[in-house]
Amino acid sequence: MSKSIAVIGDRFMLPSIFVEKITAACGNGIDIRTLEQPWPDEPMEHGYAGSKLDGLKEFMGDPDEVVSFIGDASLLVTHLAPVSRAMLERLPNLKFIAVSRGGPVNIDMQAASDHKVLVVNTPGRNASAVAEFTIGAILAETRLIRSGHESLRGGEWRGDLYRADRTGRELGEMTIGIVGYGAIGSRVVKLLKAFGCKIIVADPYVQISAQDRNDGVEHVALADLLTRADVVTLHARVTAETTGFIGHDALAAMKKDAFLINTARGPLVDYKALHEALSAGRLAGATLDTFAVEPVPPDWPLLQLRNVTLTPHIAGASVRTVTVAADQAAEEVRRYLAGEPPLNPC
């Protein structure tokens, strides 16, 4: 079997890290060629509002250039490079793709199956980073960190934020609703336990762990969660069912003094409805790390609201995410070359 590996990284998932981890896992003597893409210094093709490549999402790279670089390699390790059906038809030697992310949305999975190309991913590689970021976002909203910062930066000393009728609440007296109980959602639950808050989880496709049940975590319906939670934090995948599912009705069901946190994906939320709710005071505030279109337009209405914290899709960005993903991808390469079954086939 050919051991030619094409590595397409970027300025987050560095090609050099991939090579280092693959060499450590597989030894020397493997032909590895690398290409570095300019993300995140330059935006990727987001794809949720329409894609030029057969519905692929969150990718970067010109198809002709990617095909030319992969060439006769039998293995591809990448973060964001697209692989469409038309591209696979031009890559007859390609038999294995490792995608260093939780969901291989930049790969045409049906086409890969049709061409007998094994695709593996790295689930949970940024679960710790996103979970920690989520806790920070919750605290920034509930303890008025953002409000205090914005007022001081604007030259205003808001002593009124210490008033009993305006000051923040501790997590230990609040109910936190987790929507989605995968690798990230379950880790958020684990971290929240230290604060002593009431934790409720909505996910119709999984059961919560026995440990979480014993610790008092409740598994509830989404409608119940929305009405009870002081903070709603989203950790679901984008599907036909979840696209826009936090819309007018869901927001109307939430408490007037509740907060919404979205570190998952932008299309989960109807941002027009969210803007209306926040502007009208029907919701206390929100932290948004992901958007339906990225980068967001400079005239986007939510940028103008004072009760919203906005970050440029950085919840999953940490040094540890890079090393964990590269380690997982390298182990998959080693297993494939050794004829062993994959750990995380897609």
Q: For 43-98, what is each residue's pLDDT tens digit? A: 998 877 667 888 898 999 999 999 999 999 999 999 999 999 999 999 999 999 99
Looking at residue 49, its pLDDT comes to: 65
- Considering only residues 41 and 46, tell me which one the structure prediction assigns the higher pLDDT: 41
Looking at residue 331, its pLDDT comes to: 98
Compute the distance between CA of residue 296 and CA of residue 303 in angstroms, rounded to an integer.
Answer: 9
Give pTM, 2 decimals: 0.91
Is 294 a known active-site residue?
yes
49's tokens: 């509002």
Q: For 228-261, what is each residue's pLDDT tens digit? A: 999 999 999 999 999 999 999 999 999 999 999 9
Average pLDDT along the chain? 95
Looking at residue 1, its pLDDT comes to: 46
Question: What average pLDDT does range 176-187 have in this prediction?
Answer: 97
Provide the residue type at 194 as one letter.
A
Compute the distance between CA of residue 80 and CA of residue 205 in angstroms, rounded to an integer.
Answer: 28
Residue 260: how many CB atoms within 10 A of its CB?
A: 28
Q: What are the counts of helices (DSSP H) followed by strands (DSSP E) for the chain?
A: 12, 12
Q: At what angle do helices 145-153 and 127-142 cross, to 10 degrees?
A: 70
Is 42 a known active-site residue?
no
CB 97 within 8 A of CB 61: no
Q: Which of 143, 294, 334, 335 is catalytic?
A: 294
Is 146 a known active-site residue?
no
Range in 125-129, 198-202, 208-212, 293-297 the model is least confident about: 293-297
Show Cβ contacts of residue 327 under 8 Å, excluding neighbours closer than 6 positions.
21
Q: Which of 313, 334, 335, 340 is catalytic?
A: 313
Looking at residue 279, its pLDDT comes to: 96
Q: How confident is the model at residue 2 (pLDDT cuts 50, 70, 90)?
A: low
Which of 58, 200, 185 has its CA nearest to residue 130?
185
What percentage of the chain reaches a pLDDT higher than 90?
90
Q: Which of 265, 276, 282, 320 is catalytic?
A: 265
